[in-house]
Amino acid sequence: MILVSEVGPRDGVQSLDAVLPLELKKRWIAAEAAAGVREIEVGSFVNYKMLPQMADTAELVAFARGLPDLNVAVLVPNLRGAQAAIAAGAHKISIPVSASETHSLRNVNRSHSQMLDEVSSIRGEIDALPEADRPYFEAGIATAFGCTIEGNVPESTIVRLAEELIAAGAQEIGLSDTTGYADPAMIRSRIKAVHRAVGSDRLTGVHLHNTRGLGLANALAALDCGMTTLDSSLGGLGGCPYAPGASGNIVTEDLVFMLERMGYDTGVDLEKLLKVRETLERDLADGPIFGFLAEAGLPLGWAKTKGRK
């Protein structure tokens, strides 16, 4: 089974100018969970003066924890954010560590060495909890395929950071195409390099953007390398506010369609998911909604033709 991890309520919402009402976000999260989405990144514990769209994250975590069979994920930039996430009861915590040090300084105001210290401190905070209360702790390597500020990011930098992050206490590494610079060859090369360095069990997911139209091609390359978790955003919402030119995540409904059409089981009911998209599109009015499946529709006889792997 492939886990499609929905990041729209965090990565998508943070890219919007408007602050969405809490009740709208709750409806969105509940509807996606009801459609079979098993993991949702509901927000981030950040400086709310910088990103006021995330000010209700603790309330969203509390709400989402009440939904059946949903893994509630959040993003944190530092120890303080992790402490808030732990207090709120998030199941999964992700910290972004940019391979581009310039991007890291703009995004979280910390160098590589400072971010490694944050990871180590968060590990200590988690380990002090009773085992049953410990959230899963992932470090996502942002700008892992290139940076709009620095340009090329060497593969050796990605490998070094992966090794250092695991040593500092991250349970797993994620690779993020923050700026949409990746291509399928880069995806394969960098996943394999990180697997050799830290083990295939320490890298099972990727976060891809569709900025230059290669999102689904890159997702397919990641699948070929054994990835079992793919991040995406309903309607393709999203983009890092501190990476100039970075835009849209992979469209959740398009990704689910591709996976199910190929025979992979995602557990997602596409008909229900498309209804969620329709509601979100109405709620956002003139918001930047993307995707092909919603426009073309499901193929005739869809329910009878999809396979399983």
pLDDT in tens, 70-82: 999 999 999 999 9
When computed from its CA atoms, the radius of gyration of the chain, rounded to whole angstroms, is 18
237 vs 234: CA distance, rounded Å: 6
Q: How far is CA 121 from CA 80, 185, 306, in A?
A: 10, 35, 46
170 vs 123: CA distance, rounded Å: 7
**Number of other CB atoms surrounding residue 157 within 10 Å:** 17
- Residue 109, pLDDT score: 76
Question: Average pLDDT in the 120-148 region?
Answer: 96
Which member of 4, 240, 256, 293 is catalytic? 240
- Residue 243, pLDDT score: 46
225 carries an active-site annotation:
no
Number of independent structural domains in the chain: 1
In tens, the pLDDT along 218-245 reads 999 999 999 999 999 999 987 554 444 4
CATH no. for residue 177? 3.20.20.70
- Residue 276, pLDDT score: 97
pLDDT over 90 (residue 308): no
Which of 70, 61, 10, 2 lies closest to 36 in space, CA to CA? 70
153 contacts 143 by C-beta, under 8 angstroms = yes
Cα 110 to chain centroid, rounded: 21
Return mean pLDDT, the chain: 92
23 vs 7: CA distance, rounded Å: 18
Of the candidate ranges 40-54, 91-105, 173-187, the one whose mean pLDDT is the lowest: 91-105
Domain that holds residue 172: 3-305
